[in-house]
Structure 1
Amino acid sequence: MSTVATGSDATGPLELVLVRHAESLGNVADREALAAKAHRLDLADSDEQVGLSPEGERQAAALGDHVAGLADHRRPTVVVSSPYRRARDTAASALAAVGVEVLLDERVRERELGIFDGMTWYGIQAEHPGESERRARLGKFYYRPPGGESWADVVLRVRSLLVELQARYAGERVWVFSHEAVILAFRYVLEGLDAASVLALQKSEPIANCSMTRYRDQDGALRLVARDDVSGIQGAAEVTREPAHTGEGTGGAG
């Protein structure tokens, strides 16, 4: 029978909780652009500086109330966040009552889309047909947009961070505030998925804003115990997520 390790004998984190940032202005702009079949999002800020929407602020506050109500043995002891504003602001609001330092780590930043940043799939197909063809030939997992990153590149970042978490935070409850593609990359690594499986998850199970994907140590390995858990905000804020993905993501939305 599997048993959960105790703090004294754990060789890595006791728990890993992956939190997607609250709804951002980029998420709102993305939905509006897709509905209008526009080529670009109506956003002035860089992807790094995109902030939370009013609903996102309510979601982050609701998650903060949830965390404040957790028993001490369930609260995070180590917190890592993407340096992007929407993730940092979510972490700050969610942890206001806990007092845990937030460690910023660029390895959990949003996937960089290069020349496609801020574009919808309609825009990419219309303005970069050659790249659309190259992506179809290489496959979405390994395709790297000019100046950007492939899904495989994000996986390499996640592998690097997991090695560090394993070595430095034995027995800790680690929470990571990040983005959809990064959370899926964690699932790829931790659950031993293949490229087709993780891309299918992006289409079939879009990750809600402020949701928690939770792993716990069982026999020395982190095992999935909850995915896309919105219990922290449900009833206090609207649950928002993107529709099924049909192409490349867009800047400010992940």
Structure 2
Amino acid sequence: MTATTINFVRHGKVENPDHLLYERLPGFHLSKVGKRMAQATGRFIADSPQLNTSVAVFSSPLERTRETAAEILAPLNTVREARGEQALELVTDERIIEARNEFRGKRIGYGEGALWRKDNLKLVRNLWKPSWGETYREIAARVHAFAMEKVDEFAGQQIIVVSHESPIWSYRHMLETGRPEHNMLLRKTALASITSITFDARSHAVLGIAYFDPAKDVR
């Protein structure tokens, strides 16, 4: 049996002093803590005999994921070069971008422009089936299309994919339960965490899912 593993990494903490829902807005970068989180995950990957065999690194086009991927690529490429292997370069893909959200730019909290105003909350009818933007089913479908393409392209190998909480968890939930709909408050996708999904390269069946949280103690 030939297996392909896709290691989905959530980006690190973002600098967001105004507490905005940034969604796909440009200009949101890793904070100092977020950079340290990404570095911790990068070291974890580089030190792992399995993860450091990854042959490609992808990320969503947003700044926070590209910056996280850069902190992963640096130590990974050091290991690869020590083995006489070619350095990897980051490739971006729109299919693993953050979910579309009509609340983007809203401030978390109360007052003018805040998310919890009554006119905004009218859109929140069901936490299991978002009514304020892209549905979990749409999110999982685009991630699945990306994943199946990469399972075929990198049969028998490992790759790293830096994405966002909602795409990673919606896809995992679909694979584990048959449906992507879920309660967002129950996600297990910490900042800079790794969700490793192993597929049979021929049948595309899921062989296993593992979860790691290398940055849990980073402050």
- TM-score normalised per structure 2: 0.78
Out of 120, 143, 148, the residue aligned to residue 158 of structure 1 is 143
RMSD over aligned CA atoms reads 2.8
Quickly say closer, same or farther: Cα 1:181–1:80, change in 2 above 3 A.
Answer: same
Equivalent position of 2:81 in the other structure = none
Q: How big is the shift at 1:63? A: 1.9
Q: How many residue pairs get matched?
A: 203
Pair 1:111-2:99 in alignment:
yes
Deviates more, 1:17-26 or 1:45-54: 45-54
Alignment map for 1:50-199 (pairs within 5 Å): 50-71=28-49, 74-97=52-75, 98=77, 99-114=87-102, 116-119=103-106, 120=108, 123-126=114-117, 128-129=119-120, 132-136=121-125, 139-145=126-132, 148-195=133-180, 198-199=182-183
Quickly say closer, same or farther: Cα 1:49–1:217, change in 2 above 3 A.
Answer: same
Q: How big is the shift at 1:112? A: 1.5
Unaligned runs of 5+ in 2: 78-86
SS in 2 for 1:96: helix
Q: Which has the higher helix share?
A: 1
CA distance in 2, matches of 1:141, 1:204: 11
- Return the letter of the residue paired with 1:94: I
SS in 2 for 1:128: helix
Alignment map for 1:42-53 (pairs within 5 Å): 47-53=25-31
Equivalent position of 2:206 in the other structure = 222
SS in 1 for 2:95: helix
Would the aligned equivalents of 2:11 and 2:65 in 1 still touch at CA under 8 Å?
yes
* CA-to-aligned-CA distance 1:212-251 (integer Å, 9 cap, x gap): 1112236952234322x11x3355x23xxxxxxxxxxxxx
Unaligned runs of 5+ in 1: 31-40, 239-254
Would the aligned equivalents of 1:15 and 1:222 in 2 still touch at CA under 8 Å?
no
- TM-score normalised per structure 1: 0.69
Q: How big is the shift at 1:124? A: 3.5
SS in 2 for 1:149: coil
CA distance in 1, matches of 2:6, 2:128: 25
Quickly say closer, same or farther: Cα 1:166–1:206, change in 2 above 3 A.
Answer: closer
Q: How big is the shift at 1:166? A: 2.8
Quickly say closer, same or farther: Cα 1:125–1:176, change in 2 above 3 A.
Answer: same
